[in-house]
Amino acid sequence: MADFFSKMNDDYARKHFPEGSVFEGAMKTVKRRSIGGLFFFGLFFAAALYGLVWGIRRTLKFMAEGQDDMLSVGIVICGFFGVIVLVCLLVLVLLIKGSRKKRGDYIADSAKHSKLPVSEIEEFERQAAASDCYILKLTAGLDRMLSNATNKDGLLTRDYIYLADPAQTVMRVDSLKACCFSDYTYYIDTGKQHKKIHCLAICLVAANGVSVLSDTTEEAGRALMAIIKERNSTVDTNEGKVLPEDALDSYKKRVLEG
């Protein structure tokens, strides 16, 4: 278990939560990603805007020269670049809005998604800094590097579990109805065909209906199930079996009704 979970220590806390807040750390990660996104979509927006201006000028030239047969081409070009400009503008607005969020905004968003009062999210933050908090390292190697989590590690405090998903979900351990393996898939383009990739995830389901999936290795997932089972003996682990992707919704419904 020590390979996957370690206790909170001063060095880790200073590195990942220098302001003493889990959400401050997540906020800085999001802002770093936003800078990259702003740069990328800013360039895309500038290129699309240039294309739109060029398309408008060409269309006006067609009109001035009486080339009615080319007007439809000009309109299509303008429409194409216009759509790209609008999409890029929308993404840029969302990125700027996200980069301006403060710690309180992240706590409020987490509370809303977790279906918990803000006071519980704040209590989770206090417990996260305690020496009895476990740092959860569920992934390794390339999976860990490519993780879209706001922090690479999850946290298990006295009363709460947090897997650092993009929605910043926090769950009470005593409210968990399920902690089990789940399969999910995605496709990659190999050049000749689309290849289906299967991934292993740990699925948590809380009594209030909130659920979260997080990538995991089999060993780390089983270790997490064991420690959760010690704290909440009623939690369902699906006997350690991997739940097929298409069976996840029905499984959630069953454990919530049980």
pLDDT digits (tens, 9 = 90+) for 41-62: 888 889 989 989 998 888 888 8
pLDDT tens-digit map of 79-116: 999 999 999 989 888 878 777 777 788 889 999 999 99
Residues of the chain by 3-state class (helix, strand, coil), percent to 5:
55, 20, 25
pLDDT tens-digit map of 15-32: 888 777 888 766 666 666
Strand partners, 214: 202
| Distance from C-alpha of 136 to C-alpha of 161, rounded to nearest angstrom | 10
| Distance from C-alpha of 24 to C-alpha of 124, rounded to nearest angstrom | 14
Residue 5 in 3-state DSSP?
Answer: strand
- 117 token code pair: 């009062």
Give the number of other CB atoms < 10 A from CB of residue 36: 10
Indicate the domain borders of the chain: 5-9+133-257, 18-128
Query: Are 236 and 180 a contacting pair, CB within 8 Å?
Result: yes
DSSP 8-class letter at 132: T
Share of the chain above pLDDT 70, in %: 88
Give the number of other CB atoms < 10 A from CB of residue 23: 28
Share of the chain above pLDDT 90, in %: 45
Query: Are 165 and 225 a contacting pair, CB within 8 Å?
Result: no
pLDDT score of 38: 80
Q: Which CATH class is domain 5-9+133-257?
A: mainly beta
